[in-house]
Amino acid sequence: MSKRVVVTGLGLICALGENTEECWNAVQNGVTGIKEVKTVNAEGCYANLGAEVDSPNEKLSGEDYDRSSLLCIKAAGEALKDSGYEVTEENSDRIGVIIGNCVGGAVSIDKYYTAKKNGGEVKNTDVLKMPAAALANNVAYHFGLNGTTANIVNACAAGTISLSYAADLIRSGKADAFVAGGSDSFSSLAFAGFHGLHALSANACSPFNLSNGITLGEGAGILIIEDYEHAKARGARIYCEVLGSGVSSDAHHITAPDPEGNGQMLAINRAIKNSGLTVNDIDYINAHGTGTAKNDEAEFLSLHTIFDDNDHLSVSSTKSMTGHCLGAAGSIEAVFTVKAVCDGIVPPTIGYTEENLETLKEKAGNIDFVPNTKRVKDIEYAASNSFAFGGNNASIVFAKKPHDIPDRANKERIFVTGIGELIGKPRVEISSDNYKEYGIKMAFYRKLDRFSQLQLLSGMKALKNADITITDDNADKIGIVVGTADGPLTEVYNFQKNVCENGTAAGSAFAFPNTVYNAAGGYFSIFAGIKGYNVTNANSIQAGLQSLCYAADVIRNGDESIMVATGTDENTDVTEYLYETLGVMDKKLLGEGSVSIVLESGESAEKRDAKKYAELVGWASAHKSVEFGKLNGSESALKTAIENACKSAGVTPKDIDLVCGFANGVTEVDDLENRVFADIFGNIPTVRVKNECGEARSAASAEQAAYAAKQLESGEYKYALAAAFGVGGQYSAVVLKKV
């Protein structure tokens, strides 16, 4: 039986209230938080409604963070208090933070550019509020949590994927607990973008009913996800069990769902199967239910296809009251789902007239869509679904009582079977020959921003190098993990600049899809046809190496046989300007690129008779909370990451023949590497790839592993280690072995 994982704490803030009970009381009684927007200028827009939190930043916290961080800290504080989890110096490294997010520090980018445009006060440190990479670190730093961090940035599926990832890491023994969930703030960027797409509703959103558009919201939902034995030992109150989850890709379109619902159904069916359940066991589903025609139609089809023989299923969309809270949506809805299981109450989908109810009867069939009024019923098993831009899908199942779930963990050997490198300083040259080589047509390529272009090319290069052809038979057995430090920051900055200068109504429908962090992974999955696990992790410079750790965990968890792990970051005029403004790095040190590495289970590699560069035998991530943007005081986490990676590989640091380091020309970084590496490795040769590629951030950290794998394949070394840093005290390390 797989290790039990439980929910021991809940925290919530959204337009319905500032704590879990306020929000739960409102949502079960059909109270809406949708009102006329106050924080965004909707002049000239056809829609002016939103679900905003009625709390200024100063009330949320006295700290100088982006609003997404402040909302998240508020919800996390409630969840930790609710769980009774006492964080101490001795146990702080066993509780981590995994947060889902969509638009990063969009409110801070708006504030920064508006002040700059109007001649107001501009603080250089405000640049540190812009990337999504700051979010989990800020929460960890606030509460003194030193476990693994991650920022899952898969748009509207991010909050659900963060819960799934947290549960998987606990089951693998890498943590006792996580502060997990999602947070997103109401921003002019998101409002202008969805307005440009004509995806907003002029009236309050009407999921599974009128389906004429979304209403944006904001907030944060946090769950304390904990190992059952650990919770039991400390006498914790347990809300419910976390069972299985499923993550998938549509590989269809960057903004529209697959109309056949295939990706959605794959995620839902995986979640049910991984929970050891059947479709007839599910009593309630908190649906994605956005209120757009395409999303509602696809979800209707998915639910009917899977559950038409289930005669007791209830479904509702709480977005009809909270609005669509983007990266926080899945975790807010997860909190409501947990409360539904505990209290035996299904919250309604509001907004139906008598005429609408007649139409619903025709569309609903056996499924109870719970219109207008809550439903009191016993709920043993409930699921929460989230579907996102980029075709990303996620589903997770909660249970009232313990239930045996299949232990899918394996001890498969993992090999590097493909490498795709596109990296350089200051920029990578891309010509028409690059995309013609993979049959990428100009009509598709022109849709992509530079961040996505780099990702697509390196990903296709890695698949070709591994001699992998995507077919209907293997498409859902292959997954993607993209690691990035800055994501599409250029697109975000330029989109926001246009909105600030020309108004909210000027938001570009063409540019907006490229402002979401997971667009690059989405375009890659669409072009390649990859339909398996797909996640983007924005966790500073080390994210490219952490993507290998994440991908290896996915294979070991039995989710996929092949994973493409990538580090991608661009270098543009905007990148150079922001780094120079921050004052941490001369722009001459910057590079860019995308490095993709194919990881493959031993069974799959043997079956294909694949070339093996090296075996991935050990991997680990560690964190020591320091202020985001800093490193001093965090070197113990670097030591922990290296030691744990060696331990999981069954070697000691003395067995390592080659070390790939992360020195980048910045004194603080170079000194840290020199001190720790000398202490751990002594005189082992250290290779610094950034001498050639510059500080290409996550691309450089992935290149460290790629370089090591190639050296093992062709050289005399037996073991190589790569270690990378992230500002804020996050580190990852991997150990590779010669085959």
How many angstroms separate the CA atoms of 500 and 425, rounded? Answer: 32
| Cα–Cα distance measured from residue 285 to residue 131, given in angstroms and rounded to the nearest whole number | 33
Three-class secondary structure assignment of 289-333: CCCCHHHHHHHHHHHHHHHCCCCCCEEECCHHHHCECHHHHHHHH
Given the residues 23, 45, 72, 156, select the one marked as catalytic.
156
Please choose, from the candidates 551, 697, 531, the residue with its C-alpha nearest in 3D space to the C-alpha of residue 168: 551
For CA atoms 183, 316, 318, 338, give the dihedral sign.
negative
Contact criterion met (CB below 8 Å) for 280 and 309: yes
Residues constituting the chain? 739
Spot the catalytic one: 288, 403, 549, 660.
Answer: 288
Tell me what the pLDDT averaged over the chain comes to: 96
Sequence-separated (6 or more) residues with CB below 8 Å from residue 308: 365, 366, 367
pLDDT confidence tier of residue 120, bands split at 50, 70 and 90: confident
**Angle between helical axes of 329-343 and 20-28 (0-180°, round to 10):** 80
- pLDDT at residue 582 is higher than 70: yes
Q: Is 156 a catalytic residue?
A: yes
Pick from 106-115, 260-269, 550-559: least confident: 106-115
Alpha carbons 149 and 626: distance in angstroms, whole number: 12
CA distance 482 to 487: 10
Query: Would you say residue 1 has pLDDT above 80?
Result: no
What does the pLDDT look like over 657-686, one tens digit per residue?
999 999 999 999 999 999 999 999 998 889
Whether residue 641 contacts residue 731, with contact meaning beta carbons closer than 8 Å, is answered with yes
> Are the C-beta atoms of 154 and 518 separated by less than 8 Å?
yes
Active site residue 288: yes
Mean pLDDT, to the nearest integer, of 200-226? 98
pTM score, whole prediction: 0.98
**Annotated catalytic residue, options 142, 195, 230, 324:** 324
Give CA–CA dist 258/476, Å, rounded. Answer: 15
Contacts of 496 (CB under 8 A, 6+ apart): 106, 109, 110, 113, 188, 189
Is residue 208 within 8 Å of 369, Cβ to Cβ? yes
HEC secondary structure over 471-504: CCCCHHHEEEEEEECCCCHHHHHHHHHHHHHHCH
pLDDT over 70 percentage in the chain: 100
pLDDT at site 290: 97
pLDDT at 506 (0 to 100): 96
235 Rama class: left (phi>0) / alpha (psi -120 to 50) / beta? left
Contact 11, 302 (CB under 8 A): no
Question: What are the tens digits of pLDDT across the range 17-42?
Answer: 999 999 999 999 999 999 999 999 99
Kindly give the pairing relationship between strand 414-424 and strand 592-601.
Answer: antiparallel
**What residue type is 244 in one-letter code?**
G
Structural domains of the chain, with CATH:
5-399 (3.40.47.10), 414-737 (3.40.47.10)
* Per-residue pLDDT reduced to its tens digit, 488-520: 999 999 999 999 999 999 999 999 999 999 999
